[in-house]
């Protein structure tokens, strides 16, 4: 106890040994009713459940691979190509190798004259000049050896583009400058067909009978079919079609040679 002059005595109070033991506890915070706060005790029955993952089977794997990347599928490129659906090989007669002509034009004409009777036709595929710029090689192929640009999936022998493998060439010989027939592949992948299905043979007939055709065309009352009948009566082997006469009539009209 401390005694101060003129003041009442003040008792001494001992400090607690453990201040944390006697410190007043902080009251817990009461939760506020905030509408945006989720209540942890809310019923969880509406929570979507996670479905089990289905293991892929062999069928689903194969189906996925088939359509996974159509742009890079190599089979798509193959689908766009015209395909020969048969493996038939036809060995149609051909002029013997080693035959000579004074010019490649004479050689091509005789080859087609022979081919006409065997059911095919030959056209010029490419030519190769020498270093001096003179022709030294003429490659020939079947007129059905081209590439069809449409979309046939089955064999159609009425078209002229069947990728026929037939190929021969005419090579200029030195010093004679004659043209030699050389065989490369003398097989076809199609059956023989009538000359009227080959434009090469029809053009040859048109040139051979042009004077006679022009004379008929100047007779105005005659129709295209009538002219064709007259030509076939006089030339049973002619292979012209009505459209060939029609095209010639139009050429003469454009030139002002017929009314």
Quick: pLDDT tens for 111-140: 999 999 999 999 999 999 988 889 999 999
pLDDT tens per residue across span 214-244: 999 998 789 999 999 999 999 999 999 999 9
- Per the structure, the complete domain to which residue 246 belongs is given by 209-254
178 and 143 co-located in one domain = yes
- Residue 118 belongs to a domain: yes
221 and 160 co-located in one domain = no
- Residue 180 belongs to a domain: yes
104 and 185 co-located in one domain = yes
Name the pTM for this structure: 0.62
180 and 214 co-located in one domain = no
The pair of structure tokens assigned to 211 is 């004077």
106 and 183 co-located in one domain = yes
- Residue 13 belongs to a domain: no
- Residue 30 belongs to a domain: no
- Residue 42 belongs to a domain: no
Per-residue burial over 56-71, b if 16 or more Cβ lie within 10 Å, else e, is eeeeeeeeeeeeeeee
- Residue 86 belongs to a domain: no
* Of 245 and 133, more confident: 245
Instruction: Evaluate whether 140 touches 124 at the Cβ level (below 8 Å).
Output: yes
Cα–Cα distances in Å, from 47 out to 44, 150, 170?
5, 58, 85
Q: Looking at residue 130, what is its pLDDT?
A: 86
- Residue 228 belongs to a domain: yes
Is 158's pLDDT higher than 80?
Answer: no
Q: How many domains is the chain built from?
A: 2
Long-range contacts of 240-243 (CB under 8 A, 24+ apart): 240/196, 240/202, 240/205, 240/206, 240/209, 241/196, 241/202
End-to-end CA distance of the chain: 152
Percent of the chain with pLDDT over 90: 55
186 and 221 co-located in one domain = no
Cα–Cα distances in Å, from 26 out to 19, 29, 30, 247?
15, 9, 12, 111
175 and 233 co-located in one domain = no
pLDDT tens per residue across span 51-70: 444 444 444 333 333 333 33
179 and 238 co-located in one domain = no
Is 160's pLDDT higher than 80?
Answer: no
Domain final residue, candidates 145, 164, 192: 192
- Residue 111 belongs to a domain: yes
181 and 132 co-located in one domain = yes
121 and 159 co-located in one domain = yes
Average pLDDT over residues 97-122: 98
pLDDT tens per residue across span 20-52: 444 555 555 554 554 444 444 444 444 444 444
User: Helix, strand, coil % (nearest 5) of the chain?
Assistant: 30, 15, 55
Instruction: Evaluate whether 168 touches 199 at the Cβ level (below 8 Å).
Output: no
Q: Looking at residue 84, what is its pLDDT?
A: 46
217 and 186 co-located in one domain = no
178 and 219 co-located in one domain = no
């Amino acid at each position: 106890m401390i005694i101060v002059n003129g003041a009442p005595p003040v008792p001494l109070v001992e400090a607690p040994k453990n201040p944390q033991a006697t410190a007043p506890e902080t009251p817990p915070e009461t939760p506020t009713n905030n509408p945006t706060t989720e209540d942890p005790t809310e019923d969880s029955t509406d929570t979507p459940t996670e479905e089990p993952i289905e293991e892929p089977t062999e069928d689903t794997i194969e189906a996925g691979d088939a359509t996974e990347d159509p742009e890079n599928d190599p089979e798509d490129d193959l689908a766009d190509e015209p395909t020969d659906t048969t493996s038939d090989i036809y060995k149609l007669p051909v002029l013997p190798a080693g035959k000579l002509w004074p010019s490649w034009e004479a050689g091509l004409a005789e080859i087609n004259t022979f081919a006409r009777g065997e059911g095919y036709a030959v056209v010029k595929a490419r030519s190769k000049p020498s270093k001096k710029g003179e022709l030294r090689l003429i490659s020939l192929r079947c007129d059905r050896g081209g590439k069809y640009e449409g979309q046939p999936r089955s064999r159609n022998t009425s078209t002229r583009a069947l990728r026929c493998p037939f190929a021969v060439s005419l090579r200029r010989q030195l010093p004679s400058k004659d043209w030699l027939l050389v065989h490369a592949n003398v097989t076809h992948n199609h059956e023989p067909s009538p000359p009227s299905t080959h434009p090469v043979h029809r053009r040859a007939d048109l040139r051979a009978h042009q004077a006679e055709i022009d004379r008929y065309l100047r007779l105005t009352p005659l129709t295209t079919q009538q002219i064709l009948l007259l030509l076939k009566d006089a030339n049973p082997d002619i292979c012209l079609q009505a459209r060939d006469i029609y095209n010639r009539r139009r050429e003469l009209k454009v030139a002002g040679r017929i009314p």
